[in-house]
Chains A and B, each alone.
Chain A
Amino acid sequence: NAGVTQTPKFQVLKTGQSMTLQCAQDMNHEYMSWYRQDPGMGLRLIHYSVGAGITDQGEVPNGYNVSRSTTEDFPLRLLSAAPSQTSVYFCASSYRARTNYGYTFGSGTRLTVV
């Protein structure tokens, strides 16, 4: 029962570095998304995908890229890390896109940009 797997669990980056946060799900879910969680701000949607080959921007997309080449994988790329991107990042998936099906979340990646 892997569910949604995120790697790495922790990461420290220097300003200007790039990196990819990995997300994989084994539930054949159609919908996948990335959120960032900051104290007092709740979960804010970065990018989402309603199926392989389809991605779209969420509430806070600047500085991040995504792709969805397979149903299982939805990596998040930070192009040039900034201290404002210090946050906890969660990947989530759902059986169908934007319906009443609940989200299954990964355990998160805690990113610090120095």
Chain B
Amino acid sequence: TQLLEQSPQFLSIQEGENLTVYCNSSSVFSSLQWYRQEPGEGPVLLVTVVTGGEVKKLKRLTFQFGDARKDSSLHITAAQPGDTGLYLCAGAHNYGQNFVFGPGTRLSVLP
């Protein structure tokens, strides 16, 4: 079983603070996706990264794929209560494989 680790498991911060969450594996990813899941709903895709060192920005969210394609980070600038949710990473180690999901980071942004 291919394992993805995410850290931290839980994060509670005040509105306006910055934060970074991480997704790691001992194996190389062919591609990696980040999702956000709100209570009572299914995950929603935020971004897909495929190239080592790639950086993608989505408003206040910055996603980075490690140079060796074994890890990824999600940085949120000036967090808002609307950013509250479970952030999941999902990776495929080989093209044509199903994506495997990490356990997630549960983020709470307090007003």
Contact with A along B66-99 (1 / 0, CB 8 A): 0000000000000000000000101010011111
A105 lies within 8 A of chain B by Cβ: yes
Report the separation of the CA atoms of residues A106 and B42 in the bound assembly, to the nearest whole angstrom: 6
Report if A90 contacts B (CB, 8 A). Answer: yes
5 contacts between A and B (CB under 8 A): A4-B42, A33-B98, A42-B103, A98-B98, A100-B33
Q: Across the interface, do A42 and B98 meet the contact criterion of CB distance under 8 Å?
A: no
Q: Which residues of A contact B100 (CB under 8 A)?
A: 45
A residues engaging B (CB < 8 A)? 4, 33, 35, 40-45, 48, 58-59, 90, 92, 98-100, 102-108
B98 touching A43, Cβ below 8 Å: no
Contacts of A103 in B (CB 8 A): 33, 35, 43, 45, 90, 99
- What number of B residues sit within 8 Å (CB to CB) of A? 27
Which of these, B9, B45, B96, contacts A102 with CB under 8 Å? Answer: B45
B contact residues vs A (CB 8 Å cutoff): 1, 4, 9, 31, 33, 35, 40-45, 48, 50, 88, 90, 92, 95-104
Q: Is the CB of A107 within 8 A of B102?
A: no
A103 to B36, CA, bound (A): 12
Contact A90 B42, beta carbon cutoff 8 Å: yes
CA distance A104 to B35 in the complex (A): 10
Task: Say yes or no: B101 contacts A59, CB within 8 Å.
Answer: no
Known: A42-B101, A103-B33, A103-B43. 13 other contacts (CB 8 A): A4-B42, A35-B101, A43-B90, A44-B101, A92-B42, A98-B95, A98-B96, A102-B33, A102-B35, A103-B90, A105-B42, A106-B42, A108-B40
B3 to A, closest residue via Cβ: A42
